[in-house]
Amino acid sequence: MSSKKQGKIAFFYESNNKERLDVFLASNFPEFSRSHYKTMILNGQVLIDGRKPKPNYMLSFGNEISIDKKSPKKIDVTPENIPLDIVYEDSDIIVINKKRGMVVHPAPGNYSGTLVNALLYYAKDLSGINGELRPGIVHRLDKDTTGLIIVAKNDFAHTSLADQIQQKSAQRIYTALVNGGFKEKSGEIDAPIGRHKRERKLMAVVYDGRNAKTHYKVLKEYIGYTLLELKLSTGRTHQIRVHLKHIAHPVVCDPVYGTKKSKIAFDKQLLHAKKLIIKHPRTGKEMEFNAPLPEDFEIILNKLKPKEQ
């Protein structure tokens, strides 16, 4: 069953066999190549059950597929001379300590000043797997989340790093200041994440969401606050922020998922990607990278009163 309107079609996936989305589209709608469908998916022209998927999304029976075949307006991503804090670089990868306020890749409302704009100026070669708007980008950090992000210079490195993240062999470890105290010094948050049922731009814990797990460990306790170390087992959009809100310990100063009123005069979430552990795509050698807390985060911690043990 399908419907067509102004170049758009919608239908249900009716096979019991799982199949990659981009492969399925190229096989069943051969007017476009697989690479073109990848670009369409990344541009938001293909939706699965009303949500933006990745090109490697595995289709299941009953999925609703919506395709907008209209060509999107061409967007030129301009290289910009923006300083980057480079932690490590070789012929395959770049590890960057991203500053607060920098968007990772161009999107509506942010077509300049992004990490991609800076990378296009700095690097001669970047992987092309994620399309023209996300060259080299293997994973994301939110605009106001600071810390480590890895960039692939070629498709070989990109594929290896993406596989490591998907198979959970790559480790991404964060530090966050959150509201309230914890009875347990460590634990796991296991709750599915999907689009908020009313606020579609937001994510939330929902019964029909995608599997999501976050491990936490208490690093230091303050009066009214706790400094946590967090490790991702999955990589859902806004996962840490959504999970911490779900357990009533939102990230301090989070303008979207945090408390409406805060005693701390700051307007950006205090969340930092402090450690990244990967196997080098070409050599297989394990590599660990670390980034210190940004100065504004440290200043806030120094103003807090430690909790007596």
State how far the Cα of 300 lies from the Cα of 224, in Å rounded to an integer: 13
* Residue 188 sits in the same domain as residue 212: yes
Mean pLDDT of all residues in 230-250: 94
* Residue 189 sits in the same domain as residue 143: no
* Residue 44 sits in the same domain as residue 128: no
Residue 118 has pLDDT above 50, yes or no: yes
pLDDT of 46 reads 92
Residue 3 has pLDDT above 70, yes or no: no
* Residue 101 sits in the same domain as residue 88: yes
Would you say residue 266 lies in a domain? yes
* Residue 79 sits in the same domain as residue 60: no
Contacts of 8 (CB under 8 A, 6+ apart): 66, 67, 68, 69, 70
Beta-strand pair 271-279/146-152: parallel
* Residue 41 sits in the same domain as residue 100: no
Q: What is the mean pLDDT of the chain?
A: 90
* Residue 176 sits in the same domain as residue 264: yes
Residue range 130-158, pLDDT digits in tens: 777 788 999 999 999 999 999 999 999 99
Would you say residue 289 lies in a domain? no
Domain of residue 52: give its range: 2-68
State how far the Cα of 189 lies from the Cα of 216, in Å rounded to an integer: 8
Among 126, 151, 167, residue at a domain's last position: 167
pLDDT of 62 reads 86
Among 152, 167, 182, residue at a domain's last position: 167
> Residues 40, 46: contact at Cβ < 8 Å?
yes
Residue 163: active-site member = no
- The model's confidence at residue 73, banded by pLDDT at 50, 70 and 90, is low
Structure tokens given for 121? 């100026």
* Residue 144 sits in the same domain as residue 237: no
What sections of the chain are H helices per DSSP? 21-28, 34-42, 115-122, 155-166, 239-246, 295-303
* Residue 21 sits in the same domain as residue 108: no
Residue range 205-217, pLDDT digits in tens: 998 888 999 999 9
Residue 7 has pLDDT above 80, yes or no: no
Among 145, 167, 189, residue at a domain's last position: 167
Looking at the structure of the chain, the number of domains it has is 3
> Residues 176, 251: contact at Cβ < 8 Å?
yes
Return the top range by mean pLDDT from 30-34, 67-71, 166-170, 245-249. 245-249
Burial (0-12, 13-18, 19+ Cβ within 10 Å), 220: middle
Give DSSP secondary structure letters for 201-261.
Answer: TSEEE-TTSB--EEEEEEEEEETTEEEEEEEESS--TTHHHHHHHHTT-PBTT-TTTS-S-
Query: What proportion of the chain, given as a percentage, has pLDDT over 70?
Result: 95
pLDDT of 146 reads 98
Would you say residue 287 lies in a domain? no
* Residue 21 sits in the same domain as residue 63: yes
pLDDT of 285 reads 97
User: Which of these is catalytic: 22, 68, 92, 142?
Assistant: 142
Residue at 222: amino acid letter: Y
Residue at 306: amino acid letter: P
State how far the Cα of 177 lies from the Cα of 240, in Å rounded to an integer: 12
The mean-pLDDT minimum among 1-15, 33-47, 161-175, 228-242 falls in 1-15
Would you say residue 210 lies in a domain? yes
Structure tokens given for 44? 């938001």
Residue 2 has pLDDT above 70, yes or no: no
CATH number, domain containing residue 49: 3.10.290.10
The mean-pLDDT minimum among 59-63, 171-175, 219-223 falls in 59-63
pLDDT of 192 reads 94
pLDDT of 5 reads 44
Query: What proportion of the chain, given as a percentage, has pLDDT over 90?
Result: 61
Q: Could you tell me which residues are beta bridge partners of residue 204?
A: 194
Residue 309 has pLDDT above 80, yes or no: no
Q: How would you label 147-160 residue by residue, b for 16+ Cβ within 10 Å and e otherwise?
A: bbbbbbbbeebbeb
* Residue 132 sits in the same domain as residue 196: no
* Residue 163 sits in the same domain as residue 228: no
CATH number, domain containing residue 209: 3.30.2350.10
State how far the Cα of 39 lies from the Cα of 268, in Å rounded to an integer: 32
pLDDT of 37 reads 85
CA nearest neighbour of 138 among 124, 125, 126, 121: 126
Residue 71 has pLDDT above 70, yes or no: no
